[in-house]
Structure 1
Amino acid sequence: MTRRQGGSWPAQLRRRVGRADLRAVPEVRRALRDLLGRGDWGEPGSAEVAELLVSELVTNALVHTDDGAVVTATVAPSRLRVEVRDFTSGLPEPRVPVADESTHGRGLVLVQHLADAWGVQAHALGKVVWFELDGGGM
């Protein structure tokens, strides 16, 4: 792992994404990539996995809820934690995608298989879906 140039640990990203604004997905990916130092964080491929997983969670929040979401990513040499909070009740569950659903239904399955840890935390108003990746750092 290389050290973050000109920055200190931990570093944080926080973004509010608007209701049904799917243009926010690539913007959040780019912001996370910048936070991770253009792929310098973690083991080879870790930053790309983080980008994929944040895309899945943000897309889920925007497609399956009636409001926007708040994305928070906190990165340190040894760990990345990404949280996507929405303001709709109902807890998501990974499900086995059906063959004729094309690309739908795979987001949480990807998170479940690629993240080192993940979960859902209910709040009085909404929930947070989160994942963590091990950075292999100090």
Structure 2
Amino acid sequence: MRAGETMERQGDADSMEDEAVHDPGAKGRQPVRLHRRLAHTDLAAVSEVRGALREFLRYRWQGEPAEVAELLLSELVTNALIHTRHGAVVTVSLATARLRVEVRDFMSGLPLSYVPNADDGTHGRGLLLVRSLADAWGVGAHALGKVVWFELEGERP
């Protein structure tokens, strides 16, 4: 097994794949989890995964919590694709009143706490946004890489 590969990776790593887990008791078998694999060279995947999240939340969560989720997801995915070389895996789980978003990359080392200065332009603010807007967030180390996650609370329509 080469660096950056795990048992979870299946299929073509350079394509974005979708997997949805369905709630068997839900009307119309609506997914309760969204799972995407992103290639490291595909920065267009940031907008695509935002769109997938928007569609996933369309009838489940609305308004400001959904918009915050999109913003924070795009920050974490952008960080993973820019600062690592092995792509990322995005998993979104929705419980009754809690949304959890995880972005896993395949580079060791935890993200550094960084306070941007005025000369940094728009760089370096992703984790500050996550810290400020998420109800909970964290980083978990894995044998191959790490998971940066956040949770938001909200009400389902």
The interval holding the TM-score normalised by the smaller chain is: 0.7 to 0.9
Note the alpha carbon deviations across 1:74-127, whole angstroms, 9 max, x for none: 112301000000000010133211111111000000000000000000001100
Q: Read off the aligned partner of 1:69 and give its amino acid letter.
A: A
Report deviation, 1:5: 7.2
Tell me the SS of whatever aligns to 1:95: coil
Report deviation, 1:36: 0.5
Q: Read off the aligned partner of 1:15 and give its amino acid letter.
A: R
Question: Which residue matches 1:51?
Answer: 70
Tell me the SS of whatever aligns to 1:19: coil
Question: Which residue matches 2:23?
Answer: none
2: CA distance between counterparts of 1:112 and 1:93?
13
Give the aligned length.
132
Note the alpha carbon deviations across 1:20-64, whole angstroms, 9 max, x for none: 3110000000000111016x505x301000000000000000011
1: CA distance between counterparts of 2:45 and 2:27?
27
* Root-mean-square deviation over aligned CA pairs: 2.0
Matched, 1:118 2:142: no
Whichever of the two has the greater Rg, that structure is 2
Report deviation, 1:15: 0.4
Q: Read off the aligned partner of 2:117 and give its amino acid letter.
A: V
Matched, 1:94 2:94: no
Write out the 4+ residue segments of structure 1 that deviate beyond 2 Å after TM superposition. Answer: 4-8
The TM-score normalised by the length of structure 1 is 0.88
Q: Read off the aligned partner of 1:32 and give its amino acid letter.
A: L
Question: Which residue matches 2:151?
Answer: 132
The TM-score normalised by the length of structure 2 is 0.78
State percent identity of aligned pairs: 64
Question: Which residue matches 2:126?
Answer: 107
Q: Read off the aligned partner of 2:61 and give its amino acid letter.
A: W
Of structures 1 and 2, the one with the larger relative CO (CA 8 A, separation 6+) is 1
Contiguous gaps of at least 5 residues in structure 1? none
The one of 83, 87, 97 aligned to 2:102: 83
1: CA distance between counterparts of 2:32 and 2:88?
20
Contiguous gaps of at least 5 residues in structure 2? 1-25
